[in-house]
Structures are given as structure tokens and as C-alpha cells.
A and B are shown apart, each in its own frame.
Chain A
Amino acid sequence: MRKPRLPVGLLAQTAIGLLMLVQSGLAASLVPELVSASPAPQAKAAGEPVAVAPDAVELAALYYYAREGQMGRVEREKKRLSLKFPGFVEPEDLFQPAPEFSVDERPLWQLYEADDFTGIEAAVTQLALDNPGWQPSQDFRDKLARRKLRFDLTAAQTAGDSAKVIALGQALDPQSEMEVDLLWTLIAACRSQSQTEAMVPVYQGILFRKPGTELPDDVIMTTLQMAVQDFPARELRKVIALLSVKPELADRMKGLTLDLIRRDIADFAADEAGAVDTPAPESVLAVRRSADLGHHSADQTLLGWYYLKLDRLDEAETWFRKAFEGEPQIESLQGLTLTLDRAKKRDQAFALVSGHLDLLGDKADSFLDILSYAFQTDAETPAEQKPIDPKLAEIYAQAIQSSQSAEHAVLIGWYAYNARQFQAAKAWFAKSAEWKPGSDSIKGMALAAVQMKDMGALEALKSRYADTYPEIFAELKKPVAPKGGSAGTVGEPARDNQARYVTSFRNKRYGDCLADLERLASRGNLSAEAQLIRGWCHLELNHLAEARAAFQWALAGNVAKADDAIYGLGLSLLRAHMTDDLEALLTSRPLSEARAKELRAEMLWQKAEIAFNNKDYEITLVNLNARLQIAPEPVGMTQMRAWAHYHLGNLKQSRTIFAELNQIVDDPANRRGLTAIQDRMGIKQ
């Protein structure tokens, strides 16, 4: 069952924002502040209380001299500081938290170490039975929660379920989390879902902490290296400037220069908005040096993109070729073919790609244009002169299907037609027409029907398209004969071959799914089915408004699975707390019973909750009662019911409910409720 979720991310962001506001006040020494000097700053000195601990400015020279190896000065500076701040301790000894352990819970700890969470649950129940009133220590509970979180996170990460990682990661507080690898996992998950905005608080939490709780320099460095992938270089330079308060760190961060330069150049090559105008020659030189020295294929590829962007095709080709020859990878191949294509060397590009078909994998659809080279029949090279590798044909066919490219489907269709494989040709034309109807595909279908002497099919086509494309059927009077014999066999489109976005969605790569759909949308309108998948992907990524829009488009496009679309729309409304709209939706659109019930129940619970928080207890009860009509009530809701009665003054009723609840579950909340009622009744009496 899909449970509506609060937009936790939003809440967390606000909370962190508030936290940082508070913190920035404390961190005045760490961070430069815009000091608006008073007209008479000299007056400050007299009444000012003496500072107890040295701030970053006072300590700066200590770090500096130590780094410079001027030990005599370090000693004198220490002496100066201890004179100015009596009780001054050297920075190294500032924090050493002593660990604490409870002995009573040793068996629990053993289970804990074994990650046996069901075992822990059983053991806790047993211990609680044996020792009435006992509860696991706060320390254990906290650690258990952490451990479980880590366990689940790691499991989700191993399973590649980045959406789940993000959901679980909401429980982490980036500002205080000490197990940074969890935050890094979260960042990686956000990255794979293209949720850059969600990464921001996590990065900030790691990089900017309260003085005294800063993470070690190694961690900061690793995090910055990760951030190079996610943020533009100018953003990172700002961060580095702020972090440079610590001299050692400032020094180490200089090591990031090359990474930043790479990022600059990548942004420039990718035409990123806000990227540097043109990377400085020194920057390019630095990367060139690195590419030459280390034979880094990544750097070589980068240079390839850079020169391609500058339209210096020869150089781009050289670099891509170097990279590809050093380490054949899809990306350098892609760059190389693109360069060759632009340099009007399509034959070379094709030869290259057809020589490395194994490399293409699921990226084959980015090579569609080059792959199609073999299938393009033009006057000089008729089909029969081009023997086609069957594997090439297969990959081309798969790529067409996964990218749903109508144009290429027509192309392969014509190829099959000319090779007298009319069955295959017809199937491809049909696919093309399905993705994007056009005169070419209809014409192909009609011709294939003529060649196959399938008059019934031809008539069907005629009745359907004669009005739209009269010229096709006029030309059919003198049909074009296929050009020649068989050069290579073209298979029919596979039935179970899904579009790439569907595969991405199935594999829970929602960011990829959206990117795939984006690409598809750039070529033409999305089908209603695609819109439906888009809605789900947006919903999973908590993009509520976009999800809502996508579901509505799907509905407007008369999607086959209307029930799914309405359900998705309902869920997105629910998550956005748009209960009124949901109610309207449920009354206006038909939905399967189970799903309607689920949505309605959640809606009523949301309404009750909102009313309760607004101290509208009558309405709370009305909604809870309505909900009880359609679904059983969990304990928490019953407690809310009892409290609502309590606040309305129906003390007896409230007490009955609490007492009843107390019979069913042992919950301190019930007992607290009962005590409160008794107090109040006692006062009344």
C-alpha cells in the first residue's frame, strides 16, 4: 500500500536552515561577518568582558607557524596566548568524548553486533517481561536506531534502490551526523536521482559545522572532491574561500585546483549556464599536462569535449582517439564519433562504431545516427552493396525501440523493404506510425501491403489515412519496386522490448527515467502511457506539482490504465495536502474500490489530523468517524479520538476509550491519558 508521506525533505531543509541561522550567530569567529562598525569603536575596549577562549583569528598564527616549521615562534605564540587567555589549552586537546557503555544489555549488544534486528525485538520483549518497568537504555535505543538505519541504508544501496536510500536518509541530520559515509551514500543516491537540491543541505551539513564540531580535514577534502561532480566550480570556490579559515585545510584544498579546472572545462564544454567564458589557457594546459603525463583517459576525453566545443575538430579527434585507444570506453567512443561526424567523416565514424559494437551496451540509442549509416540507401550505394553485420542490425533495432525513434524505424523499414523482407518492413513501419504518425511510415506500410498482396490491410490503411495523406494513396497507383536482393536480414521489432524510460522506472532509477522521457519529449509529444510513467517518477522523487501535471496529461490523453493515473493523481494530491481537490477527484472520476477506499481513508485521516492541530476537535471526530466507516482504526488514531473527546469535555467517553486501549496495548501514552483524565475528573468532582 502506498502511504502518503509528508514532504519531509522540505521540513528538514527548513529545520537545517533555522539551525544554521542559530549557528551562524555562534560561528561569528569562523566566518567573516559584515561588521558595521559603530561610530566610536574605541569605546568598546573598556567595558568589554574578557574573552575566555581564543578565536580563529587568535589561533591562526599558531597553525601557520607550526606549518612553516617555525617552532620557536610556535612556543612564543603559545606563551602569548596563555598570557592573554588564562587556562588556554592547545587546540589538539580540545575534544575527546569518553564512550559510555551499559552492562545490563550485553545480550542485546551481541545481537546488535550481529545485525539481528528481529532477535533484538524478541529479546527486548523478553527482558521487559522479566523486568517490569524496564526499557532499553536510551543509549541502546539510539544506537539501535542508528544501526538499523545504517543496515537499511546499506541494504538499499546495495540493491541499487536509490529512492529508498533518499527516503531513509531523511532521518539523518547532516549538521550533526558523525558517520559521514552515510551522508556520502545519501549524496550518491541523490546524484543518481538527479536531485541536486536535496544534496545541498547534506553538503552544507558536512562542510559547515559549528566550531568545535568540525569534521576532520580528510572528510572535508573527500566531500569537496565529491562536490566537484555536483556543483559548478564557482560555487566550490566560494566554499573553499569560506573554509580557508583553517590554514592546514586551506593548504590541502589547493590540491583541488586541478579538479576545479576540470570542472570548469567540463562546464564550458557542456555549455553549462554560468560556466567560465573560456577556460584560461593555463587551465587547459594543466589538464593537458595531466592527460599527457598520466595518460588519464578521463582527462583526454575531457580535452576532446573541450576542443569539440571550440570546433577544433582535429584536436578533438586526436584527444578522443588517445583516450579511446588507451582505454576503450563508451564516452570517448561517443565523443570520437561525434567529432568524426561533424568533420564529415561519417564513414570513419561508422567503421569505428561497428568495430566496437560490444561496447555500446544500453547506450546504443545515442549512436542511432551513426548506426543508421549502414541502413541509409541512397543512389550511390544501393542496399545490396552493403552487407550488414547481423549483430549490427540487432543492436540498431534494439536501440530504435528503446529510444522509440520513429525516424529510424522508418529507415530500417525501408531497408527491409528494399531487401524484400516485407513482413519486417511492415512491422517497423507500424511501430514508427505508433510512435509518431507520419506520411513516411504510412506510405511504407501501404507499399509493404501492396508487395505482400495483402489487400485487406491496404484497404484498412486507406480508410483510415486517405483523408490525411491522400498523396500516398495516389502514388500507390505506380508502386515503387524494392531496389534489390537481400543484403542482411532485418528482424521484426521485438515484442517485449521496452522503451528505456520504462526500464529505468522498473529499476527505480527515477532520475534516469525522467531524463529519458525528457529526451523523448524533445522529439515530439509524449504518449499518454509515457506521461503516466512520468507521473510516477515525479511522485517518487517528491516533485508533487510535476507529478500532478503529468497524471492529468495522462488522463487527458485517455490513457489505457486510467485507474493508475487517477490513483497516482490522488496520491500526489494527498501528499500535497490538497484534500479538497482529492475529494473532488474521488467524486468525479471512477476508481477501483480498494484504491478509492485507501485514498479516502488517508484523506480523512489527514483532515482529522489538521483539525486536531487546529484544536477543531468536533471536526476531528467527524473525520475519524467517517474513516472508521471504511477502514479499521490503528491505535494512534484511537488515541487521537480519545484526546479529542477529552478536550471536548466528554471525559467519560475519553476514559472508556483509553481504558479499552490500555487493555489491548501497553503504551505509556494511554496511561498518561488516563492519569490526565482522572486528574481532571477529580478536580471537577
Chain B
Amino acid sequence: VTPPFRVERSGRIETTLDDASWSILGTMPDYLAGLDGDRSDPAVARLYPPGHPDDEEAERRFRSLVTPGLRHARSKDLEAFVAVVAGRPDSLSAAEASVWLRVLGEARLAIAARAGVVGEAPDGWDEAEPESPEIALVHFLGYLQGSLAAALLGSGEWR
């Protein structure tokens, strides 16, 4: 089986994705849009975790300091990801691959958090329904993300 991502001699990352995979990648905004307000949403809580969990005042200052930049960076990542996915390219630059890794990771965390995967490994999965389509999607995106991370690390251009 051809892996979804392989490093080329040039250092670029070759993509070998079928139509279904490209279609799934096209749905990432469905999971990541509107993830910036409601902290009772487990996905928001997971993607914007506390920096100072034991100090309310420091945490308020930290949140107001980092949240706007974090939201902006995530919206730029998603925008760049959507633009590249729309073209279904044969290969990715290292910079594009970095964006993809973050977006795939963010989607996995958001979907898993909403499906009840919480806490520390390995018991964090205990509350989630293992056969659910959401968990299947988390694993599929992990298959892509793992292949891409390995290819990018192997490219020597990963910074």
C-alpha cells in the first residue's frame, strides 16, 4: 500500500490521496469553524487550555494575552489549508505540510473532545464510543497526520 505522504528527493512531500480522502479533508472547516467562544464546548476547552491552571488571576491575564493571537493563527492555518486542499496538489512544500499537521491535529483534538475523549492517555478513550463515526474519523485523520509527520521529519526541511 502506498503511504499517503512520502518525501521526494527535492524535499517536497508527495501526496497520494484518493478522492474520498480529499473529500474528507475538504470537510475540516465543518469541525473547526466557530471554535472560539463557548468554553463549555469541550473542543474549545481542549484547544484553548489554561496556561496557569492553579492561579485564576494569572490565568485571566494569560488568556487575554494569548487568545487573540491563537485564534488569528488558527484561522490563517485553516484558510491556507482549505486553499491547498481545493487544488488537490501532487505535492506539498514543507511550510504547507506544517500547516496541514496543525490543522489535522486540531481537528482530531476537537472531534475527539466532543466524542468524550478526555484526560490522560491511555484511559482517556474510556468514555468514547469506539465504533462511532467520529472516533473512526479521528483515527483516519491520525493515519494521515502520522504519515505526514514522518515524511516531513524525513525531509530535513521541517522547520
The answer to whether A and B interact is no
Q: Which residues of A are at the interface with B, using a C-beta cutoff of 8 A?
A: none
Q: Which residues of B are at the interface with A, using a C-beta cutoff of 8 A?
A: none
